[in-house]
Amino acid sequence: MQNFDIVVIGSGPGGYVAAIRAGQLGFKTAIIEREALGGVCLNVGCIPSKAMITATHMLHRAQHDFPTMGLNIKGGIDVDMKKLVGWKQSVSDKMSGGVKQLLKGNNVTVFQGQADFKTNKEITVKSSTGTESIQAKYFIVATGSRPIEIGGFPFDEKDICSSTGALAFDAIPKRIVVIGGGYIGLEISSYLRKLGTEVTILEAQSSLLAGVVDADCAQVVTRKLEKSGVKVIYGAKAKSQKKTKDGYEVTYDLNGKDEVVKTDKILVTVGRRPNGDQSNLKAAGIAVDERGFIKVDAQRRTNVAHIFAIGDICGQPMLAHKASHEGVMVPEIISGINRVYDAKTVPAVVFTDPEIAAAGMTEAEAKTKGYNDLLISKFPFAANGRAVSMMETDGFIKMIADKKTHVVLGIHIVGPEASNLISEAVLAIEMGARLEDIALSIHPHPTLGETMMEAAEAALGHAIHIIQKPLTSATKGAHA
């Protein structure tokens, strides 16, 4: 029997961060991981997918933009898929190895194996070498989530895949059917299309990313996807698949009629479910809701006072950076610091082409919350010198503010480097910034970041690089 102050179960972006912070605070800490350090995000999710997206974006630019710039590549570009996947894996391995070193440097003991609660103060860890028992004063459950599997499409991760299998193809698929037009499906569809794969998306809703991002932003991505040759079938509900001599036939319902599409690979991306049915949570008396999420309070404490839960396992949004934020917070709470989860906004990013990023409320959400009088602006990347010089002018920044106070309520970006630009928006919303705070902050030129300043100016009625109606006497002093 080994004893610790804090034991963290799961080493994803929530778990490993929690263990590091606990070690920094002087707690005797252990972390348990059944697979690879870094969890889904570092090994089969966020990091490897962005590696593949980056590589294929470069390929696309070399094939389509370089000639316009006068950069001619003779003979074309050959894609070595096995080498590309190997490079992708090396990126994940570096990140996972970095986590290992950070844990070691903060005196965190690492256990490899499956953790299950025996009581609310003891867990067992089962590995290939046997089973051992561990006790702790506090536990932090960070066991994450897994892809949802739908009936008739069992994952084999070779032909019928979740995102995990789709990031490990050793050859470029000729054809793929993607079930679900959410952010994971679109990110993978985008990079596969750039490799030359014929992509068909079966989307049950009437639009892509419905309810996930601002509708105006989603339209920009949809147009570019369809222009690239991706076929999107709306209102389509996948029913079954059948193996044939030259691939698969996928049957789907469209307006009450069965339709069939032929393919070589099938990717199912209809969402993720929390792992609330794992780790024998019942033995510890931990309350789990009907969807599989562990019930927690604002400090991420479960109904068992010395057990906490963070990340995907304790509710939406199921995002790595939200888990990491909680991972820092919980050990501090255990140490006696009075903290609660009180983020005004959790940014979300979709790594499509172009990228989409959002912070704060959409227009519809603002109105639902009583903000009926809004200032809304859109500033296009086509009017930004840096975007033009990059040949990446699709998209805009959309800014939403309360007309009475000018307080910024939401910022939505679709365009180049949206994932990097959104951090300024998060800070603005967290600090309760007004449009003037952004508009009067000098932004460096020539940069994509200038679009944020110009979007604030546009909401106030006087952006420089787009034509707006002349200022009235009531708005001339908008900076005052």
- Please give the pLDDT value at position 470: 79
- Please give the pLDDT value at position 480: 53
Q: For residue 91, with 0-12 CB atoms within 10 Å meaning exposed, 13-18 middle and 19 or more buried, which class applies?
A: middle
Q: Is 57 one of the catalytic residues?
A: no
- Please give the pLDDT value at position 384: 98
pLDDT digits (tens, 9 = 90+) for 199-244: 999 999 999 998 899 999 999 999 999 999 999 999 999 999 999 9
Virtual CA dihedral for 315, 316, 322, 324, nearest 10 degrees? 30
Confidence class of residue 476 from pLDDT cuts 50, 70 and 90?
low
Question: Are the C-beta atoms of residues 356 and 414 closer than 8 Å to each other?
Answer: yes
Whether 455 has a pLDDT exceeding 60, the answer reads yes
- Average per-residue pLDDT in the chain? 96
Within this chain, domains 2-147+273-334 and 160-270 share the same CATH topology: yes
Q: Which two tokens stand for residue 141?
A: 């459950």
Range 468-476 average pLDDT: 67
Report pTM.
Answer: 0.95
pLDDT digits (tens, 9 = 90+) for 46-76: 999 999 999 999 999 999 999 999 999 998 8
Range 23-42 average pLDDT: 97
Contacts of 190 (CB under 8 A, 6+ apart): 53, 56, 225, 228, 230, 352, 353
Confidence class of residue 472 from pLDDT cuts 50, 70 and 90?
low
- Please give the pLDDT value at position 478: 52
Give CB contacts under 8 A, 24+ apart, made by 236-240.
Answer: 236/202, 236/203, 236/204, 237/202, 237/204, 238/150, 238/152, 238/153, 238/179, 238/202, 239/152, 240/152
Whether 477 has a pLDDT exceeding 90, the answer reads no
Nearest CA to 68 among 454, 388, 426, 414? 388
Using CA atoms, how far apart are residues 372 and 202, in angstroms rounded to an integer?
Answer: 36
Nearest CA to 286 among 273, 298, 302? 302
Superfamily of segment(s) 2-147+273-334: FAD/NAD(P)-binding domain (3.50.50.60)
Whether 475 has a pLDDT exceeding 60, the answer reads no
Confidence class of residue 479 from pLDDT cuts 50, 70 and 90?
low
CATH placement of domain 160-270: 3.50.50.60
pLDDT digits (tens, 9 = 90+) for 67-113: 999 999 998 899 999 999 999 999 999 999 999 999 999 999 999 99
What ranges do the domains of the chain cover?
2-147+273-334, 160-270, 354-460
pLDDT digits (tens, 9 = 90+) for 128-182: 999 999 999 999 999 999 999 999 999 999 999 999 999 999 999 999 999 999 9
Whether 329 has a pLDDT exceeding 80, the answer reads yes
Instruction: Write down the catalytic residue from 325, 445, 462, 465.
Output: 445
CATH placement of domain 354-460: 3.30.390.30
